Chain A
Amino acid sequence: MKPISITLDKARDHYDILVVGSGYGGAVASSRLARAGRQVCLLERGCEILPGDFPDSISSAKDQFQLNTPMGPMGNPKGLFDIKVNEDLNALVGCGLGGTSLINANVALEFKKNVFDQDSWPEQYRCGDFLEKYYQLARGMLGANPYPRDDLNKLKALEQSARSMGLDFYKPPINVTFEDRINEFGVEQRACTNCGDCCSGCNYGSKNTTQMNYLPDAHNHGATIVCEARVERLEKLADQQWQLQVTDLSDDAATPRVLTANIVILSAGTFGSTEILLRSRKENVLEFSSRLGKRLSGNGDVLGFGYNNYWALDDEKKPRPVYGVGMGAATAPKTVFPGPCITGIIDNRESVSLEQGRVIEEGVIPGALAMALPPVFFFAGAQYANFLHYGMQQAAERLEDASDLGNAIANDPGSLASLAYSGTVSRTQTYLIMSYDDSGGTLQLDNMGNVRASWNDVGRSKCIRDDNAALQDASAGIMGQFIPNPMWSEPLDYKIITVHPLGGCCMGDDADRGAVSPQCEVFSADGSVHDGLYVMDGAVVPTAGAVNPLLTIAAIAEYAVASLAGKHGWTIDYSLNASRPIVPEAPSDHRKRASHGRHEGTATLAEHMDDSVLEKHAAWGALGKLLGRLKASLENDSIDVAKRILRVLVKDYPDFFSPGVSFAETMRGFATTNFDTHKPDPAQRISNDYQLAYAQGKGDGHAIQYDLTISAENLHEFTENHRAEITGHVSCTLLGKAPLEVTSGEFFLFNPDEDQVETWTMNYRLHLKGERGPLYFEGTKYLQRKAHSHWWTDVTTLYVDVYEGDGRHGKHLVQGMMLLGIDDAIAMSQTVRTPLQKHKHRPLEHAMAKLLASMARKYPKLESALDTLFVARFGAFVAQTVFTAYGGLLANLKNFPSAENAVRQGDRRALSLPEPERIPLTMPDGAGITLYRYAHHEAKPRRQIVLAPGFSVTADSFATPTVDRNLAEYLFHAGPEDNASDRGFDVWMLAYRASPDSGNTRTDYSIDDIATHDWPAAIRFIQEASGVSDVHAIAHCVGSMSLLMALLNGMTGVRSVISSQLTLHPVTNWQNFLKADIDLVALLEHSDENHIPDSLPDMRETIPLVPAKADRSGSPDKQSAALDVLCWQVPLPPGEECNNPVCRRVSAIFGPSYTHSQLNHATHIALEEWFDTIAVKPFRQLERIIEKQYCVNREGENTYLPQVSRLAHIPIHFIAGGRNEIFLPETSLRTCEWLKAHNTSGDYSRQVYERYAHMDFFIGRSAAADVYPDFLVFLEKHS
C-alpha cells in the first residue's frame, strides 16, 4: 500500500472545498465531492500510518498517546490515541489518516427506529426509513459483513452470557476483510489474521478503515490529502469565502498557514469540530446557534471486564479460555488468536423501552498492552474478589489461579507479556456496553482555549449504574469476576470513559433546536445558515444510539453531502469497480516485511562491540561472555534471543545495567497556622487533624503547592534502598511570598511504619530556603488498608507539617494536606524518564556504558527493552507493597508477614535476660509440659513468679524481642530499666499442655487436666528448684481460669495471682456463643471424610493456626488456603482487619485476641511464632462453661465453685481489657464481686484498661508503660 498524503507545505492556498478530518464524516465528504468533480482538499492533523507500522508493544505504543487535560495538552500531538481528560467524562478518540476508524472495532449497525422518533432529531429523520438509502451506501463502501466462522472462544462465551441473561445474541456486521484481495479502490487488503489488534491499528490492512475505502477513493478521484495539518479556527471572508488557520505539525519550524475555500466541511469529530467552532466564535466574532456545545453524549458507553471466567462448553470439564488479548508483538500458536475486536453482540433494544435498551459486545485488549494486563488484573482481581461467590470448590481453584499469577509476576517480571495469553488473563472477557444516556454533557472552551467536557456526576447516573449492573450479569453468566472500569470508583469520583462521544453541534430543525440544520449546514445566531459551512461527523448526532455509531455517522454524511451536491446541482457518481484477488507473488506476511527494514545496521554494531574491550578485565569474564553472546545474537538479527540474554544480564548485574529514574510531581492543597492543638485520646476525636487543617486553610484561602523532581541515579538501587533525591520548590503564602527553593530533599518510598501494623509510608523530607532562615517540610503518605480506605486515595494524600529550622524540633509553623489530582497524576506519568547510567566515575564501566548507549541508539527497541525490564522490576516492588497493603484475601494467602519475619529474625535485639533454662516435665497422664526459668543465680533466694499464657499460645511469647521491654524482662529487673537491686524476680514461664512449646503431643485433654496436673506439678517444681515456698502467678485467659480452678481444687504454694481476662464467670461475645450454640466441637469431631469438603484440612482433632508453608513452587497448600478463605469470611471489629493469615485464623477461631492499635509491626508479623495447632477436645469443656456462664468440670458439673473458701486468703488482682470481645470485662467484674460476697475478708481488686483487648497486655507495644507498673505495685504489696 502506498501513501496518499502530502504535507501542508505542498498544499495550495485555495481549494473549492476544504474538508477537516478524515474519519467517517470527512472521508465520505471528500470521496463524494471528488466524485462530483469538485476540487477537494482534506486536512488531517494526524499522520498517515500504513499497515505494519501501527504500534504492537508498550514501548512503541507509549509514544502514540496524546492527552488533552485541563492543564493543557501533553504527549505527542499527532499520537494515534487521543485521550480527552475531563472532570467526569473522559473520551478516547483516534488521530491519524482515517480518524477514529483506525482504532475502533468497526461494528456497522444502524440505530433503531425508535431512536430517531425522539424529539431531539429533526422532523425528517423521524419518518420511517429516512436514512436507509444512505446506510446502504455506507455499508457498500465500508464492506460490512459478520465474522464468517464460529471458532472464537470469546464469541461463544458471550453467547453463553446472553443465554444466561435470556437476551438476543447475534454476530453483527463488521467492516473487516476476510479474504486476500485488491478492493474496489485498488487497495491491497489481506485476510484478517484474527490477531485481535483492531484497536491499536490493523497491521494487516484487513480492517476496512476509511483509509481502505473512502479516502483512497477520494484520492483516486483527484482529492488532495494533507496530513499533519491541524486546523485551529476559521474565519468568514467578505467574498463568501472561508479561511482556515492551519498549523503544520510535520515540521516544528514551519509557520502556520492560511487556506481558503468556498465550502468548508468540519469533520474533526465531536470534540474537534465543536472546538473549532467555539474558538471561531470567541476569536473571530462568528455567531452560531446557542445550541453549540450542548447535548454531549457518551453513547452510554461503559467498559468492564469479566476476569477469570469459569465457563465451558457442554461436555467440557475444565474451564475454557476466552482469549481476549491481541497478539501484539507476541509469537503464539493460532489457537490463542482472539479474532476481530468485536464479533458478537447481546442486544435487548427490540424488546424493551428506549431507556432500558442497551447492547453488550465482547472486545479485545490490544496486544501492545499485554505486558500491563497480568499485574493490573491480578490486583484488580484481589480488590474485587469474593472467592466463595461460585462455591467452595471453585474458590480453591480460583485461589490457585491467583497464586500462580501472583508468583509468575513476582518471580519474573520480564515475562509479563506472555502471561496475558495463559491462565486467568486468558480467561478474561472484555465488555463494552452502549446504552441511552441523556446527552446531558456540554462542551466549552477552557481558559487555554481548549475544548473541555463537563457533565456533573454522569458516572453516578442511573444509566451508567444500570450499565455496570448489566455487565455484572453478563459476567456472572460465565462465572467471571466482574471488574468495572477502575476509574469508575468512589475515590476517583466515578469517572467514565467513552469511545463514542456524540453531539456538541447537534442537528435540529432550526437554530433554537440545533447547531446545524438537518443537512448539516451550520446555523448562525439569527437562525439562518452560514453559507458553505458544514459539520459532518459524530458532533451532529443529537442523541445516544446505544450501539456503535459509525454507520449512522457515515450515513448522515452521505445524506448531507448528497444534499450539498443537490443544492449546487452537482452529480455524484456512485459507481464502483469490482474488487479482485491479489496476484500470488505478493509476500505472504505483510508485517514481517514491514518491520524488516527497522533492523538494518548490524554490521555497524559489530564495530562498537570490540571484543578486546570485553576481555580487558578479568572480572568481566562471565559478563564478557554474556555480552559476546548478546553481540552475536544481535548480529544474527535474533532480537528475541538478545532480549533473553539481556534479561539474564539485568538479573545478574542489575547495578550496572540499571538506568536512572526521575519524575516530576506536583501536589496541591491547603494549609493553616490555626491547626489543632488538643491531642486527647483518639476515641474522643471525630476528625483527622490534617483534614481539618486542609479545610481551615481552604476556608481562609491559604493554598500550598509543591513542584518537585524526584530522581535516583540508579533505579535498581532505588528499588533496594527506597531512597531518592528531591529538588524543586514549595509555594505557600503562609511561609513566604515567593516559592521556596528546596535546598536538599529526600524521598523515601514504602518503608514500613514500625509503630503500626501493616502501614507503609512515603516520606518527603525537604529543607527549604525560607525568607528568614531555613525551614523544614515533612510530608507523609500512609498506605494502610482500613475498612474505608482505598489505595488510590492513600497514595495521593500527603499530610504536611512545616517547622522552623532544620527539623521537627523547631517551631511548628504550618499544618495542612496536599492531594495529587488525577490530572496531576497523568502529568506526572508523562515526566517519567529512565536515562541510561553514565558511570562517569568508573572508566571501564563508563566505556561499557558508552557501548551500551550506542547499541541503544542503533536499536531503540533494545533500550526500551532494557528500561522496560527495570521499570517492570521497580513496578513489581511498588505493586507488591501496594498489594501487601491492599491485596485483601490474596495478600493474606501470600503470607507476606511470614516472609518478612524470616528476614527480620536475624536482626532482633538481644534480650535483657540470661539464657533460659528449659525444663520439660511429663505429667502422670503422659502429657508433656515445659517450664522456662530465668534465674538470677545467687545464693540469696529471690521472689519467684510464674507466667502462664493463654490457650494454645507459647509461653515464650512473654519474652518477645519484638517490643522494647517484655514482661519477662520487666519482672526480672522489677522495672523498665536493667536493675541491680534484689527486687527483681526469678521469672518462670509455664507452657502447660495446651501451649505449642509444651512438648505435649496429646490432644484428648480437658481444662480439668490442666488444673489437676499441670499447675500443681509446675508450682511444686518451682518451689523445689528455688527453695521458695510462695510463688506469685500472672496467668492469662485459659491459663488464668485453670489456675483459679487448681486453687479451688486445693493447690497450695501460690502467694498472689494476677488474673488476666478469663475468670470463673466467662461472659463472651455473640460469635463464641454461636460456636457453643451450634456445638462446633461436636460438628468437627463427628465430621467424617464424606462430610468435610476435601478442599479443607482434617480438623477433627486439631485446627492449624499457622498456614502451611508454601512449597518450592511458591504455591500454597490447597487445603491450608481453603481454611484461610473460610477464616477471611469471619467478620472482625472495625480496624482489626489485616492481611496476616495467622492473625485472621486466630481471630476467626478465638475472636479478636488483641487490638491491632496496640501492636507494632514486628510483633504482628511474629505472631506465627506463638501459635501452632489447637486441640479441639478441650473446647468441649469451654463450650459448657460458656453455656453455664460459670466454671464447671468436663462433665458440666459444678465441682469448683463450692470450694470458694479456698480463695479466701489469696490476694487476686483481676485485669480486663475494655475492648476485649472474647471475654468481656463483665467476666472479671462478676468473679470479683462473687468472691467479695463469699469471702468478705478476701483481698480482691480489679482494673480495666480501656484501650486494651485481650492478649495485647502481654505483647502490646506500650504494655510496659501502661500495664506492667501496676503489676509491680500489686506484687510489691503482696510480697
Chain B
Amino acid sequence: MAIQLICLSDLHLGADHSVLTQLDGTQRASRSLSAFADAFSSLLEHLPVTKNTRLVLLGDVLDLGFSSLPDVVATFRVFAETFLSSRGGKKLSPDILFVPGNHDHQLWQTVKNTYMVRQVVEGMTQDPREITHLFNPQHLESYLLQDILKSVPGTRDCSVQIAYPNYAVLDDSGQKGVVLHHGHYTESMYLAMSALRQRLQGRLSLSEDMSEIEKDNGYWVNFLWSSLGSSGFGHTAFNMYETLLDTGASHEFIRASGKVIRKFMVESLSLSDNTVQSLEPGLSLEKIIDAMLDASVGKFAGSERLSFGSVLSRDGIVKLKWYLGGPVKNQFLQERVDVPKDLSFVFGHTHKPFEDRLPIPGFADPVKVFNTGGWAIDKPVVSSVQGAAAVFIDDNCDVGSLRLFNCSPNGEVTPPHIAGAGSLDDAERPLLRLLEDALSRSTEDWSKFSAAVSHDVQRNTSRVLDRYFDPASDTGVRIGRAV
C-alpha cells in the first residue's frame, strides 16, 4: 500500500489572519509554519510515501482576495522554502496538484485564459471549457506558481498542475473513489448567480451542470474573492469584513452609517424627525434607520459568529447533499464513469475540519465526507470547531484524516489525532492504522507544532481584540476604530 494523495487547504498564505503567515518584513516563516514542516517531515518518515505521492493544495492556499499580491508571493515563497523544500516535502512528487478555491480562483482564471488562447491560436474547434475533467484532467500548468517555485532553490523542479473545480480518482476495481473540491460551491453564497438565473427563468431547481455553475459564478467569485487584493482595495474590504465580525465594532459602524443615511434622507427626501414623530412619539428617523441596520447588517454579523456553533450549518448540509447528488454525479455521468459504491469527498473552505458520512440520494453507500479545515483566525474569540486537518488518500482510495489542531476558546489547541469517517469498518482500514502509528512515532515534533499553533492563534486573537479594544486605556473601549 502507498499513499497516493495528501490534501491541505485554506492556508490563506499572504493574509495576516493566517497562522502560517508572518508579515513582519523579515521573510521568515511563522512559528506554526516551521513547526508544521518539521512535524510533517517526521511523520512522513514512517509512512509509505513515494515519488508518486502527490501533494494536493485544495484551494484558498493563496489569499488573493483581501491581501496584496506582493505579500502573497512573498509568503508563498516562504512556504516553498519551509514546507515544500523540507525533508518531508522532498519525499513527495514534484508535481503538485492545485485545486483552486474562491480566494485563489485567479489561478484557474489565468490558466483557463491561457488555454482558451491556445485553443484559438491552434484553431481547435471545440467549445472552450469552463472546468477541467473530473478524471484525468488535461494537463494545465500554473506558470504563475511555477515561476515562484523556480525562484526557490529547493523547489526548482516542481510543477503545479491545476484542476478545477473537482478532481477525482478511482481504485482499480472502480468500486471505490474519491472526489476533491475546495468547497465553495457547497455554499449558497457562491451560487448566487445560479440562484438568480434560476428565479429569473422560473425553474424549480438550480442548474446541476458543473460547467454552467462555473460559468454563472466563476467570474464574479473571481473578482470579489480573488482579485480585490491586487486592486489595493483589498485591505479596506477586509477591514470592513473584520468590522462586521466584531459585534461591538459592527454596531459602531451601524450607528455611523445610520447618521449618513439619515443625512441623505433629510436632505434629499425632505423627511424630518417631526414626520416620524407625528406617527409614533418617541421614535425618530435615526432610531428607525439604526433599527433597520441592526436587523440587517447586525444580524448578518451575528449569524457569521453563530456559524461557529457547528461544523456545518443546516443549509450547508443541504447544499453539500445537493452538490454531491447533482453537479458531481452529473460529472460522473458526463464522463461515463459509474459512481463507485464507496465514495469519499474531500473539501475545505469552512475552516472547520470534520469527518462523517452522509446519505445522498442516488448513491449506494453513504458518502464519506472529510473536511481539511483551515488556518485563518480572524475573531477575538475562537471556537473549538475551528482547526485544520491534512487528509491522506492511499492507492486503494481509502481516506484518513490527520486532525492537526482544533482551537479552544480557553487557550491551547488540541493535539493531533487520526480520524476515519466513523463507520464500524474503520477498524479494518490499514491506512488509519498506519497514520496512527506514524503519528505516535513523531509525537515530539507534533507537540512542538501544537505549542507553535497555540502561540500564533493567540497572536491573531489578541491582534483582533486590540483592533477594537485597548485593555490599557481608561475604559478599554476604542471609539472610532470601526469607522
Contact = CB atoms under 8 A, between A and B. Distances in A.
B309 interface: yes
A1070 B294 contact: yes
A686 B320 CA distance: 10
B308 to A, nearest CB: 8
B423 A699 contact: no
A692 B359 contact: yes
A1070 B365 contact: no
Interface string B406-420: 000110000000010
B472 A1219 contact: no
A1079 B474 CA distance: 27
Contact of A694 (B282, B312, B359): B359
Interface string B198-218: 000000100000000000000
A663 interface: no
Contacts of A460: 204
Contact of B354 (A674, A684, A692, A1226): A684
Nearest to B355: A678
A1233 interface: yes
B474 A1201 contact: yes
Interface stretch (A124-132, A615-623, A839-847, A1234-1242): A1234-1242
Contacts of B365: 695-696, 699-700
Nearest to A1135: B309
Contacts of B257: none
Contacts of A674: 423-425
Contact of A1226 (B247, B309, B422): B247
Given A677-B423, A1086-B282, A1068 B381 contact: no
B426 A677 contact: yes
A685 B294 contact: no
Contact of B306 (A1079, A1133, A1248): A1133
Contacts, number: 177
B366 A1218 contact: no
B430 interface: no
A1065 B357 CA distance: 42
Contact of B380 (A1134, A1201, A1226, A1246): A1226
Interface residues of A, number: 65
Given A686-B320, A687-B357, A1077 B290 contact: yes
Contacts of A687: 356-359, 366
A257 interface: no
Interface in B370-408: 380-381, 383-385
A1188 B280 CA distance: 26
B301 interface: yes
Given A1078-B287, A1225-B409, A699 B341 contact: yes
Contacts of B314: 787-788, 1134
Contacts of B246: 1226
B271 interface: no
A676 interface: yes
A140 interface: no
Contact of B281 (A682, A692, A1091, A1226): A1091
A1069 to B, nearest CB: 5
A694 B316 CA distance: 22
A1232 B246 CA distance: 18
B146 to A, nearest CB: 37
B277 to A, nearest CB: 11
A19 B361 CA distance: 48
Contacts of B477: 1065, 1188-1190
Interface in A1035-1076: 1065, 1067-1071, 1073-1074
A675 interface: yes
A1078 B288 contact: yes
Nearest to A1237: B471
A1234 B471 contact: yes
A691 interface: yes
A356 B213 CA distance: 32
Contact of B299 (A675, A692, A1070, A1226): A1070
Contacts of B312: 686
Given A460-B204, A686-B356, A1219 B309 contact: yes
A1068 B247 contact: yes
A1082 interface: yes
A1078 B381 contact: no
Given A673-B424, A677-B422, A699-B365, A684 B311 contact: yes
- Of the candidates A1071, A1082, A1231, A1233, the one having the most CB atoms from chain B within 10 angstroms of its own CB is A1233
A376 interface: no
Interface in A1189-1231: 1189-1190, 1198, 1201-1202, 1218-1219, 1221, 1224-1226, 1229-1231
Given A460-B204, A678-B422, A685 B282 contact: no
Given A699-B341, A788-B314, A1224-B305, A1091 B409 contact: no
B364 interface: yes
B424 A1078 contact: no
A686 B409 contact: no
A1088 to B, nearest CB: 8
A694 B317 CA distance: 18
Given A673-B424, A1190-B475, A683 B381 contact: no
A1250 interface: yes
Contact of B424 (A675, A685, A686, A1070): A675
A1083 interface: yes
B298 A1073 contact: yes
B357 A692 contact: yes
A1060 B251 CA distance: 24
Contacts of A677: 422-424, 426
Given A1077-B287, A1077-B290, A1082 B282 contact: yes
B402 to A, nearest CB: 16
B144 interface: no
A1198 B280 CA distance: 32
A1224 B247 contact: yes
A1247 interface: yes
B88 interface: no
A1236 B384 contact: no
Contacts of A1229: 380-381, 465
A412 B25 CA distance: 81
B483 interface: no
A604 interface: no
B381 A1225 contact: yes
B475 A1201 contact: yes
A1083 B284 CA distance: 11
A1226 B381 contact: yes
B238 interface: no
B247 A1077 contact: no
A1231 B248 CA distance: 14
A673 to B, nearest CB: 7
B366 A696 contact: yes
A136 interface: no
A1087 interface: yes
B429 to A, nearest CB: 12
B253 to A, nearest CB: 11
5 contacts: A676-B422, A683-B384, A699-B366, A1218-B381, A1234-B476
Interface of B: 204, 246-248, 251, 254-255, 280-283, 287-288, 290-291, 294-295, 298-299, 301-302, 305-306, 309-312, 314, 316-317, 320, 341, 354, 356-359, 363-366, 369, 380-381, 383-385, 409-410, 419, 422-426, 465, 469, 471-472, 474-477
By Cβ-Cβ distance, the 6 closest A-B pairs, closest first, are A1070-B298, A695-B359, A1248-B409, A1237-B471, A1074-B294, A1077-B290
Interface of A: 460, 673-678, 681-687, 691-692, 694-696, 699-700, 787-788, 1065, 1067-1071, 1073-1074, 1077-1079, 1082-1083, 1086-1087, 1091, 1133-1134, 1188-1190, 1198, 1201-1202, 1218-1219, 1221, 1224-1226, 1229-1231, 1233-1234, 1236-1238, 1246-1248, 1250
Given A677-B426, A685-B356, A1190-B476, 5 more contacts: A673-B424, A676-B423, A684-B311, A694-B359, A1070-B298
